[in-house]
Amino acid sequence: MKNKFVVSALLAALVSTAAIAEVNSLRGDIGTGEGNEVEAVKKIPHSQERLGLDYVNQPPLIPHSTDQVQLNPSNNGCLECHDVNTYRKANAPRVSPTHYMDRDNKILAEVAPRRYFCLQCHVTQVDAKPLVENEFIPAGKFGE
């Protein structure tokens, strides 16, 4: 039992030493040590024009702020406007019918648990430069 404790303590010391090692940012060869300034959070307009999609099956971007939207296991604020029963009153896009299917394609009465947390796939659109260079070319404007 004492050996297990010693091994665990040594392992913890090794892991904590590795955690102190210098880590580089996605923004380039700038270390994440003291003195680095964090870039300001992008301002998201209250509402903006919806952007088209860049590829087939891309989750649509959210054209409004989600700061005040509650999204937790007991409440999904997105459904207050986007649910099939409320989207017309809110003049909002309806949740896709695929979100009401389980993994066996069985139709459910409520949003499927695997699709419940909207912000896993859908992100708020913001005009921001990419963190890293890429050569992505949109495959067309499927959402227009």
For 72, how many CA atoms within 13 A lie in the half-sphere containing its CB? 3
The CATH number of whichever domain residue 113 belongs to comes to 1.10.1130.10
CB 61 within 8 A of CB 51: yes
Rounded to the nearest 10°, the torsion over CA 106, 107, 111, 117 is 30
Determine, yes or no, domain membership for 23: no
Determine, yes or no, domain membership for 12: no
Determine, yes or no, domain membership for 133: yes
What phi and psi values does residue 17 have, to the nearest 5 degrees?
A: -65, -40
Residue 78 parent element (H or E):
none
Determine, yes or no, domain membership for 141: yes
Domain count, the chain: 1
Determine, yes or no, domain membership for 20: no
Q: Specify the range with the lowest mean pLDDT, choosing from 15-29, 57-71, 77-91, 128-142.
A: 15-29
What phi and psi values does residue 118 have, to the nearest 5 degrees?
A: -55, -35
Return the pLDDT at 68: 86
Q: Is 64 annotated as a binding residue?
A: yes
Instruction: Identify the CA nearest to 62 among candidates 84, 78, 83.
Output: 78
CB 12 within 8 A of CB 5: no
Q: Is 46 annotated as a binding residue?
A: no
Determine, yes or no, domain membership for 97: yes
pTM of the model: 0.61
Q: Is 118 annotated as a binding residue?
A: yes
pLDDT in tens, 88-136: 999 999 999 999 999 999 999 999 999 999 999 998 888 777 788 888 8
Q: Is 139 annotated as a binding residue?
A: no
Determine, yes or no, domain membership for 81: yes
The strand ranges marked E within 4-118 are: 71-72, 75-76
Domain extent, residue 114, equals 42-144
Q: Is 19 annotated as a binding residue?
A: no
Residue 100 parent element (H or E):
none
Mean pLDDT of the chain: 80
